[in-house]
């Protein structure tokens, strides 16, 4: 099975549509979504509707999803994130808001080889940036491949019997990863709609378990259009500015 993996779309329709068009050419069997469908971007309803139409075989909620549908208060959010979540809560249609509110908490098992979570398999809101967090998370995963998001940084962590074998983040992540038997993987495809690794291109992955291969994709999209929509919506300017910088 080829799983199309999307995470941290953040209501960026231009980025999502570019990823979907590219993924259609590469080919995939089903879709898994690692949370933060909304928040930050100007197209929460259109993005929710796209994701709903994809009928993901597995999906988990992210921290921005919880706050943007009113499930949780914006405690811990900075002023820009809080403003965006508040705007999103008002913008979502009741039906889409209910759909976001009903998204399940991770981790979730996808199949015999793959599980997904938003932040970490231990805690949906925890960030995995480096080896120390990754090592602890890998001790708890039940499948050989655990897919995560939340940091908006592409990353691949590999462990063998509880010992870290390799850790690659951002620019060090190769476009293609060969999955080896006996190794446990923690993989973040990077953010579709708000990359933060200094590369403004949208990020997603295709995990092909049968072929033991992961494609880590980066591709350009219409950043200027997404920025324009953010400014016109009255969302905070830094949310538009950062898309061009990928930070």
Q: Establish how many alpha carbons lie within 13 A of residue 68's alpha carbon, considering only the half-sphere containing its beta carbon.
A: 33
Question: By C-beta, is 36 or 158 nearer to Zn ion?
Answer: 36
Considering the complex, what minimum distance in angstroms separates the CB of residue 73 from Zn ion? 17
Residue nearest to Zn ion (CB): 36
Question: By C-beta, is 8 or 115 nearer to Zn ion?
Answer: 8
Does residue 158 touch Zn ion according to CB under 5 A?
no
Stretch of 16-24, 29-37, 216-224, 235-243 contacting Zn ion, by CB under 5 A: 29-37
Considering the complex, what minimum distance in angstroms separates the CB of residue 118 from Zn ion? 8
Considering the complex, what minimum distance in angstroms separates the CB of residue 237 from Zn ion? 19
Give DSSP secondary structure letters for the chain.
Answer: -EEEEE---TT-HHHHHHHHHHHHHH--SEEEE-S--SSSSS-HHHHHHHHHHH--SEE---HHHHHHTTSS--TT--HHHHHHHHHHHHHS-HHHHHHHHTPPPSPEE-SSSEEE-SS-SS-TT----SHHHHHHHHHH-SSSEEE--SS-S-EEEEEETTEEEEEEEGGGS-SEEEPPTT-EEEEE---SS---SS--SEEEEEEETTTTEEEEEEE---HHHHHHHHHHTT--HHHHHHHHHT-
Residue ranges in 36-55 that form contacts with Zn ion under rule CB under 5 A: 36
Considering the complex, what minimum distance in angstroms separates the CB of residue 246 from Zn ion? 14
Question: By C-beta, is 179 or 246 nearer to Zn ion?
Answer: 246
Stretch of 7-15, 18-26, 83-91, 109-117 contacting Zn ion, by CB under 5 A: 7-15
With contacts defined by CB under 5 A, how many residues of the chain interact with Zn ion? 2
Question: By C-beta, is 8 or 215 nearer to Zn ion?
Answer: 8
| Residue from 3, 6, 8, 69 in contact with Zn ion (CB under 5 A) | 8
Question: By C-beta, is 38 or 179 nearer to Zn ion?
Answer: 38
Residues in contact with Zn ion by CB under 5 A are 8, 36
């Amino acid at each position: 099975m080829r799983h199309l993996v999307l995470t941290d779309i953040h209501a960026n329709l231009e980025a999502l549509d570019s990823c979907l068009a590219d993924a259609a050419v590469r080919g995939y069997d089903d879709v898994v979504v690692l949370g933060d469908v909304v928040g930050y971007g100007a197209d929460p309803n259109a993005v929710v509707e796209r994701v709903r139409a994809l009928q993901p075989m597995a999906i988990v909620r992210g921290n921005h999803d919880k706050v943007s549908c009113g499930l949780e208060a914006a405690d811990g959010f900075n002023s820009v994130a809080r403003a965006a979540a508040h705007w999103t809560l008002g913008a979502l249609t009741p039906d889409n808001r209910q759909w976001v509110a009903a998204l399940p908490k991770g981790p979730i098992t996808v199949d015999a080889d793959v599980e997904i979570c938003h932040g970490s398999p231990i805690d949906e809101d925890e960030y995995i940036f480096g080896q120390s967090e990754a090592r602890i998370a890998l001790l708890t995963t039940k499948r050989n491949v655990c897919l995560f998001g939340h940091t908006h940084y592409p990353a691949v962590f590999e462990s063998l019997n509880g010992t870290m074998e390799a850790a690659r983040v951002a620019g060090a992540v190769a476009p293609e990863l060969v999955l080896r038997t006996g190794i446990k993987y923690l993989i973040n495809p990077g953010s579709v709609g708000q990359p933060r690794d200094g590369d403004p291109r949208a990020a997603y992955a295709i995990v092909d378990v049968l072929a033991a291969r992961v494609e880590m994709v980066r591709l350009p999209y219409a950043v200027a259009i997404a920025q324009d929509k953010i400014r016109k919506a009255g969302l905070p300017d830094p949310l538009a500015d950062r898309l061009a910088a990928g930070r």
